[in-house]
Amino acid sequence: MTAILETRGLSRNFGGLKAVTDVDFTLEAGEIRAVIGPNGAGKTTFVGLISGRVAPSAGTILFEGADISHLPAFRRVRLGIAYTFQITSIYAKLTVAENVDLASHQRGTTDTRSCLEQVGLGDRASQVAGTLAYGHQRLLEVAMGLALRPKLLILDEPTQGLSDGEIDNFIELVRTLSKRATVLLIEHNMPVVMSLAHRITVLDRGSILAEGTPEAIRANPAVQAAYLGTADA
Amino acid sequence: MTARIVLLHLAVLLLLFALQFIASDYVILTLTRIMVLAVYASGYNLLFGYSGLLSLGHAMFFATGLYAAAIGTTRAGLSVPEAFLAATLIGVVVSSIMGVIVLRARGVGFMIVTLMFSQAAFLTVLYFGDYTRGDEGIVILDTIRIFSFLGRTIDLTDPLLRYNLALALLAILVALILVLVRSRFGHVLVAIRENEDRTAMLGYDVARYKFIAFVISGTLSAVSGATYALMFAYAGSTLASIQYSIHPLLWTLLGGASTTLGPMLGTGVMFLLVDFASGFTNVSLLITGAVLIALVLFFPKGILGSIRQRYLKWLP
Ligand SMILES: Nc1ncnc2c1ncn2[C@@H]1O[C@H](COP(=O)(O)OP(=O)(O)OP(=O)(O)O)[C@@H](O)[C@H]1O
Ligand SMILES: [Mg+2]
């Protein structure tokens, strides 16, 4: 297996606060990796560093072997790193289809319809995005991510606000998708993590606390102490 | 849908064309002014309405065109077409340089920086009074404004000819704006206005889009300024003042920001208002201020914006 993404000594401080500290992280092409950790552990900051939304204080990021540490975010997107925001970020005044069009046009494709159908929003194409239920807005984000035809898709808490039925569909969607793309999934919902992730990385206070298969992580006492014991799942 | 939009814009231009056969001299002159300034307002709208960048300093670009044309014809010995072309090119250069600088700022910072540069430009106009003749202004002599072009004599002192030239310019502008805002480029500008972060995370080079929009907007303002100087034979420092930065904002808001015809309509309506009110008062600035406040408070979408929202959803 080959690494699609690698970080070395990756750090980010906000003033005195160390949000991400010295993270060495490797992601294999084709895997589904879950990143879990308590609130404020630095998960969003960590993927922000990878996607280019947040500038690193130190360290390097390699994507397919090339150093992307100093590339602006939009270039990383073009290289194949797509990011769906934790705090929903859509074009509220545009229609659902127009939202996804903006993504597919950037790639020069006409994937909009199929992307909307994959996430289950096929019948809402002409609805104004801002009027969608919250969970559906999350799915719209995912559809935009798909339309970018990413090699690496970063999903920051995508199932927030979804119903149980929608979560089941979502799990299926990520499985199908992982045949085409590597998936980096930040998720608080443990059943989702356990059923999807090949491996799990646990972040705590900006550092990697543990990493391994779902079974190993579940059995890890340090993880239980830091996280699972207080999990909201 | 597209046919309807094209027909609407053609109808507006045809109406303006037909008006010259019935309008009085005074109306012709006023409409000519409105059409020339509508180019300014539309250029402003591309940046403000579509891209969401509120500049408080576009007078510097209007003045760039104005003075380039006036000084070009009166001092540099350029013919009117040469001066027009030179003014346009200088407009491209000046707005490119300004774009690189001011686009570093965002939001309120952008408003302040554009305002400051525009004030600096205004003071520069006054400082170089030897060349610009300050608020007294440069008058372009009729001998310059009657010239031969491609073997024909063009007489810019002829009101009807001016009217039709202004209309031709407006027609080109309308076509340009319509094509721009309905293109992928235009859609990305709107996307940046609606959600800049998201747009960058879709892989768009937001800075580059903003820069291009800024340069087009500044250049159209310069084109309007140059046309204004050449057609009305005058360039004075009032036309470079803050008032002329507020005007296009006001016209755009009144007619409807991010509508293709709104800025034109807003320019026209504002002229009518000031004209009407000058019967009772000579404080046109007061009216300008009152309209601006009323718009922001009660009518934020402007005339065409409101019509689009309520009745004609297809309006571009
Ligand atoms: N832009 C910022 N400025 C200052 N502090 C920040 C900024 N972004 C994040 N932080 C801080 O960095 C720490 C890590 O935040 P981050 O959002 O990465 O955590 P998270 O693991 O994603 O949390 P959650 O599970 O709540 O989403 C927090 O203490 C947060 O307050
Ligand atoms: Mg987070």
Per-residue pLDDT tens over the stretch A76-124: 999 999 999 888 899 999 999 999 999 999 888 888 989 999 888 889 9
CATH number where A203 lies: 3.40.50.300
Cβ–Cβ under 8 Å, residues B261 and B177: no
CB contact under 8 A, B191 and A78: no
What pTM did the predictor assign? 0.89
On the question of pLDDT at B136 being above 90, the answer is no
Task: With respect to residue B213, please indicate whether it lies within any of the assigned structural domains.
Answer: yes
Structure tokens belonging to residue B180: 């721009």
Q: How far is CA B186 from the centre of its chain?
A: 18
Largest pairwise CA distance in chain A: 50
Q: Which residues of B touch A144 (CB under 8 A)?
A: 202
Per residue in B74-99, pLDDT tens?
A: 888 888 899 999 999 999 999 999 99
Tell me what the mean pLDDT of segment B304-312 comes to: 81
Cβ–Cβ under 8 Å, residues A47 and A186: yes
Q: Give the Å distances, CA to CA, from B133 to A67, B79, B119, B235, B236.
A: 57, 20, 17, 9, 8
The residues pairing with A26 across neighbouring beta strands, listed in sequence order, are A6
Ligand lying nearest the CA atom of residue A40? 1
Task: With respect to residue B287, please indicate whether it lies within any of the assigned structural domains.
Answer: no
CB contact under 8 A, B202 and A90: no
Tell me what the mean pLDDT of segment B23-47 comes to: 93
Which residue's CA is the nearest one to ligand 1's atom 2?
A14
Tell me what the mean pLDDT of segment A187-211 comes to: 91
Burial class (CB within 10 angstroms; exposed 0-12, middle 13-18, buried 19+) of B96: middle
Per this entry, what is the length of chain A? Answer: 233
**Which residues of chain B from 177 to 196 reach within 8 Å of chain A, CB to CB?**
184, 187-188, 190-191, 194-195
Task: With respect to residue A46, please indicate whether it lies within any of the assigned structural domains.
Answer: yes
Task: With respect to residue A125, please indicate whether it lies within any of the assigned structural domains.
Answer: yes
Per residue in B221-252, pLDDT tens?
A: 999 999 999 999 887 878 878 889 999 998 99
Q: Confirm or reject: Cβ of A42 under 6 Å from ligand 1.
A: yes
Dihedral sign computed on CA atoms, order B99, B101, B105, B110:
negative
Per residue in B284-299, pLDDT tens?
A: 777 777 877 887 788 8
**B201 touches A: beta carbon within 8 Å:** yes
Q: Give me the interface pTM, i.e. the ipTM.
A: 0.88
CA angle at A154 for the pair A148 and A155, rounded to the nearest 5°: 105
Confidence of residue B1 (pLDDT cuts 50, 70, 90): low
What pLDDT does B219 receive? 97
- Phi and psi at A92, nearest 5°, equal -65, -30
What pLDDT does B279 receive? 67
Q: Buried (b) or exposed (e) across A44-60, using 16+ Cβ within 10 A?
A: bbbbbbbbbbbebeebe
Could you list the residue range(s) of the whole structural domain that residue A39 is in?
A: 31-52+72-226
Cβ–Cβ under 8 Å, residues B229 and B105: no
Residue-wise DSSP of chain B: -HHHHHHHHHHHHHHHHHHTTT--HHHHHHHHHHHHHHHHHHHHHIIIIIT----S-THHHHHHHHHHHHHHHHTS---HHHHHHHHHHHHHHHHHHHHHHHTTS-HHHHHHHHHHHHHHHHHHHHHTHHHH-TTT-EE--HHHHEEEETTEEEETT-HHHHHHHHHHHHHHHHHHHHHHHHSHHHHHHHHHHH-HHHHHTTT--HHHHHHHHHHHHHHHHHHHHHHHHHHHTEE-GGGGSTHHHHHHHHHHHHH-TT-SSHHHHHHHHHHHHHHHHTTT-S-HHHHHHHHHHHHHHH-TTHHHHHHHHHT-TT--
Tell me what the mean pLDDT of segment A52-73 comes to: 94
Dihedral sign computed on CA atoms, order A110, A116, A122, A127:
negative
Q: Ligand 1 test: best mutation among A17, A160, A201, most atoms within 8 Å of CB? A: A17
CB contact under 8 A, A102 and B205: no
Helix (H) or strand (E) holding A53: none
Could you list the residue range(s) of the whole structural domain that residue B137 is in?
A: 25-244
Tell me what the mean pLDDT of segment B127-148 comes to: 79
Cβ neighbours, 10 Å, residue B272? 12
Q: Confirm or reject: Cβ of A39 under 6 Å from ligand 1.
A: yes
On the question of pLDDT at B30 being above 70, the answer is yes
Tell me what the mean pLDDT of segment B250-263 comes to: 89
Per residue in B140-190, pLDDT tens?
A: 777 787 878 888 888 878 899 999 999 999 999 999 999 999 999 999 999
Per this entry, what is the length of chain B? Answer: 316
Tell me what the mean pLDDT of segment B16-24 comes to: 87
3-class secondary structure, A177: helix
Report the alpha-carbon distance of residue A110 to residue B161 in Å, rounded. Answer: 48
What pLDDT does B94 receive? 97
If you average pLDDT over every residue of chain B, what do you get? 88
Nearest to B195 among A74, A91, A101 (CB): A91
CA nearest neighbour of B63 among B285, B268, B229: B229
Task: With respect to residue B181, please indicate whether it lies within any of the assigned structural domains.
Answer: yes
Cβ–Cβ under 8 Å, residues B102 and B113: yes
Nearest to B204 among A74, A83, A144 (CB): A74
CA nearest neighbour of A132 among A98, A168, A108: A98
**A129 touches B: beta carbon within 8 Å:** no
What pLDDT does A229 receive? 54
Task: With respect to residue A213, please indicate whether it lies within any of the assigned structural domains.
Answer: yes
Task: With respect to residue B259, please indicate whether it lies within any of the assigned structural domains.
Answer: no
On the question of pLDDT at A228 being above 60, the answer is no
What pLDDT does A232 receive? 45
Number of domains composing chain B: 1
Number of domains composing chain A: 1
Cβ–Cβ under 8 Å, residues A115 and A147: yes
Task: With respect to residue A3, please indicate whether it lies within any of the assigned structural domains.
Answer: no
**A148 touches B: beta carbon within 8 Å:** yes
On the question of pLDDT at A1 being above 60, the answer is no
Confidence of residue B281 (pLDDT cuts 50, 70, 90): low
Structure tokens belonging to residue A174: 């990520």
Tell me what the mean pLDDT of segment B106-133 comes to: 86
CB contact under 8 A, B194 and A94: yes
If you average pLDDT over every residue of chain A, what do you get? 89
Q: Ligand 1 test: best mutation among A10, A43, A88, A184, most atoms within 8 Å of CB? A: A43
Tell me what the mean pLDDT of segment A12-38 comes to: 92
In angstroms, how far is the first alpha carbon of chain A from the final one? Answer: 32
